[in-house]
Structure 1
Amino acid sequence: MVNKIFFITVLAGVPLSVVGRFMHWSEVLMFVIYCVTIIALAGYMGRATESLAIVAGPRIGGLLNATFGNAVELIISIFALREGLVAVVLASLTGSVLGNLLLVAGLSFFVGGLKHKRQEFNVYDARHNSGLLMFAVIVAFVIPEVFAQGMPEGKTMALSIGVSVILITLYLGALFFRLVTHRGVYQHKSEETGTHEEPEWSKGKALLILLISTGAVAFVSESLVHTFETVATRFGWSELFIGVIIVAVVGNAAEHASAIIMAYKNKMNIAVEIAIGSTLQIAMFIAPVLVLLSLLFQDSMPLVFTLPELISMVTAVLLAIVISNDGDTNWFEGATLLAAYLIMGIGFYLL
């Protein structure tokens, strides 16, 4: 039933998105159409990811989902940088970190926990990810903020470039570590004793659907960006709130849907890989790549966040580490993450 709804929504939503954009329909109406269409397309990305995860394993499946999902975020941010909206890009990166660690992980733990009283995932991966989260957010994001206080703009940008290169290098090293040199070394019992399952789609078909869905989401998301100013004025939303909450939630809709579906099916290794893996990819790859790409535009983007953004990300990382570090979760821990996200959301709305 849900798949039929997604199919009808995509079948109607994509043409309406194209027609409405060129016919200059009401931007508030188009905002709703774009959001609903992206959610439906995210459903297809989730199904494709699940098929790939069955074939290639939870790590590859989760990594593919995070990569394709974050490709949308990257595309939106590049368009925003071209328009000189550096503050919105930094806010959307903050929103992606908060959204994945608190909203996506929280909803996954909560929804999965309602059906399964206790859910386990790979504790070795959780501890590995905890160290990377501490480095990426608390070290690589805080240090530029601290040193930038006494630096001129040119030196701040030079510091940001240096940090970005180190982040990208370490992220590639982390992938090599997990997927090549230590693949299967730190295996969880749920991965060892997993039952054989037939994928819904073949590997080729799943990859094709994932590519097409990502392309469609990228087009709709880029169109969505142009409606933010009108919608913000109509509803009284600030630029910071749009970046942290709206852009981040919509831009990462694919991960949201996929992780929750996986958790409901008790495939927690994939759900956690999507939520945490996407956060690491945003912090260690997408953010530094955007810093380097911003050198091509008139306004470059230093890796320096505002104090509310920085404190929120550090708090989210510490809370996520404390909750996930034991490789075990339940619905109440999910509710705790969601409560933290709501508190921060209220703060950013009122700021």
Structure 2
Amino acid sequence: MNKVFALLVLAGVPLSILGGLFHWPSVVMFAVYCVTIIALASYMGRATESLAIVAGPRIGGLLNATFGNAVELIISVFALKAGLVGVVLASLTGSVLGNLLLVAGLSFFVGGLKYKRQEFNVYDARHNAGLLTFAILVAFVIPEVFSLHMSEGETLSLSVGISVIMIILYVAALYFKLVTHRGVYQHKSDEVEEHEEPEWGKGKAIAILALATLAVAYISEKLVHTFETVAESFGWSELFIGIIIVAIVGNAAEHASAIIMAYKNKMNVAVEIAIGSTLQIAMFVAPVLVLISLFFPTSMPLVFSLPELVAMATSVLLMIVLSNDGDTNWFEGATLLAAYTIMGIGFYLL
């Protein structure tokens, strides 16, 4: 598989540059850009995994989620610059749904096919449940409800205030988990880490990470300019492109990493990637995008559509119910995947 991704990068990056220079058809270039970004994301995932070998499941999962979400952030910034606020909000929704239902679902399902039961830290699951409830059911719902009785300026001011609070709380949550209460809430499911050799040395991993991020930034800008043409060609809505296409492409790195970790029965890492990435999207990436949008002609309030809010809220509730016991199996994974499919069909038909 690594050889396949290497070939895709070697072919995809030059084709992306040539296609942009010679203005090849947007539909063709959309496919080239998406495949190339996914291939580059695999390198970002391998680089972060090498850097995280000795860091433990929490920091390893955080690194995977952070650099996986870097792709999402880069695509979203260029989309905001192009004035595609709807696509950005939809891609944030898609990231939440994708991580909670698709990534976690595939991880539980694939791991469950190999192992009858898989356990993970129940204390982390309960801690994450509280943060998910705050991020989605409080911080995302409040602007939508209050905006009904506010002007656009007041709604944007509320969004900025909420964004600052969410960033502060997210940083505090990391400090709580990694510093003040590190090792306090141990559970029998915590894996005994075996000595592993990283695939790449520290210097090489950092260099690959930097180069892949630069390449993704360049291709992402080109990808954004194909959205309108692709939407017209396939009859896709802006909502569907953001929720399904951009979210899957933007989160490809942690998708693969979480499934591989689950197959290796490293469920603490898999869950940390899936849920940790969701929290990072909701409590850090979304607020940062709101603040960045203030420097562009079109600002982005933290106001989602009703279908987006309902989909995210039900995803959070389903994940909390299934994960709160710190135990999972393939059927719970299938349940999450079924929910993702149902929502995907709904957004496609909207």
1:250-289 equivalences under 5 Å are 250-289=249-288
Q: Measure, in 2, the Cα distance between the counterparts of 1:11 and 1:184.
A: 43
- Aligned pairs for 1:153-302 within 5 A: 153-191=152-190, 193-302=192-301
Question: Structure 1 pair 307/252, CA: closer, same or farther in 2 (3 Å)?
Answer: same
The AA in structure 1 aligned to 2:144 is E
1:84 Cα deviation after fit: 1.7
Distance 1:302 1:56, change over 3 A: same
For 1:96-135, what aligned pairs fall within 5 Å after superposition? 96-135=95-134
State the 1:51 CA deviation. 2.1
After superposition, where does 1:74-93 map in structure 2 within 5 Å? 74-93=73-92
| Offset from partner CA, 1:91-125 (integer Å, 9 cap, x none) | 11111111111111111111121222221111111
For 1:43 and 1:188, the matched residues in 2 are separated by: 31
Asked if residue 139 in structure 1 is aligned to residue 138 in structure 2, the reply is: yes
* Partner SS for 1:296: coil
Name 1:16's counterpart in structure 2.
15
Give the letter for the 1:196 counterpart. H
Rounded Cα–Cα distance in structure 2 between residues aligned with 1:240 and 1:131: 28
Higher mean C-alpha deviation, range 267-276 or range 219-228: 219-228
* Number of equivalent positions: 350
Amino acid at match of 2:337: L
Q: Which amino acid aligns with 1:117?
A: K
- What stretches of structure 2 of length at least 5 have no aligned partner? none
Give the whole-Å Cα distance in 1 for the aligned partners of 2:191 and 2:92.
Answer: 35
Which AA in structure 2 matches 1:280?
A: L
> CA 1:335–1:225 in structure 2 vs 1: closer, same or farther (change >3 Å)?
same
CA distance in 2, matches of 1:75, 1:43: 16
CA contact (8 A) 1:59 1:270 kept: yes
**Whole-angstrom CA distance in 1 between matches of 2:151 and 2:31:** 43
1:185-233 residue CA offsets vs partner (Å, 9 max, x unmatched): 2233343633222222223322332222222222222221122222211
- For the residue of structure 1 that corresponds to 2:123, the secondary structure is helix
Name the CA shift for 1:159/1:214 in 2 (closer, same or farther; >3 Å).
same
Correspondence for 2:330: 331
CA contact (8 A) 1:132 1:280 kept: yes
- The alpha carbon displacement at 1:73 in A equals 1.4
Matched-pair identity in %? 79
Alignment of 1:95 onto 2:101: no
Per the TM alignment, residue 248 of structure 1 is displaced from its structure 2 partner at its CA by 1.1
Q: 1:64 — aligned with what? A: 63
* Partner Cα separation in structure 2 for residue 196 and residue 251 of structure 1: 31
Change in Cα spacing, 1:320 to 1:18, as seen in structure 2 (3 Å) is same
Distance in 1 between residues matched to 2:129 and 2:19, nearest whole Å:
44
CA distance in 2, matches of 1:324, 1:89: 28
Paired AA for residue 60 in structure 1: I
Q: 1:6 to 1:267 in 2, by over 3 A?
A: same
- Corresponding residue for residue 35 of structure 1: 34
Q: Deviations over 1:279-321 (max 9, x none)?
A: 1011101111111111112221111111001000000000111
- Describe the SS at the equivalent of 1:117: coil
Q: Indicate if the aligned counterparts of 2:91 and 2:243 stay in contact, CA closer than 8 A.
A: yes
SS at match of 1:194: coil
Q: What TM-score does the superposition give when structure 1 sets the normalisation length?
A: 0.96
Describe how 1:340-351 pairs up with structure 2 within 5 A.
Answer: 340-351=339-350
> CA offsets per residue over residues 121-171 of structure 1, 9 Å max, x none?
111111111100000000111111111111122211111111111101100
Secondary structure, counterpart of 1:25 in structure 2: coil
**In structure 1, what is the Cα distance between the partners aligned to 2:53 and 2:325?**
25
Give the counterpart letter for 1:305 in structure 2.
Answer: F
- Contact between 2:44 and 2:212, CA under 8 Å: does it hold in 1? yes
Mean CA deviation greater in 148-157 or 190-199: 190-199
Contact 2:56 2:193 in 1 (8 A): no
Q: Which moved more, 1:194-203 or 1:56-65?
A: 194-203
CA-atom RMSD in angstroms: 1.5
TM-score (norm 2): 0.96
CA contact (8 A) 1:75 1:218 kept: yes
One-letter amino acid of the structure 1 residue matched with residue 314 of structure 2: T
C-alpha spacing 1:259/1:146, structure 2 compared with 1 (3 Å): same
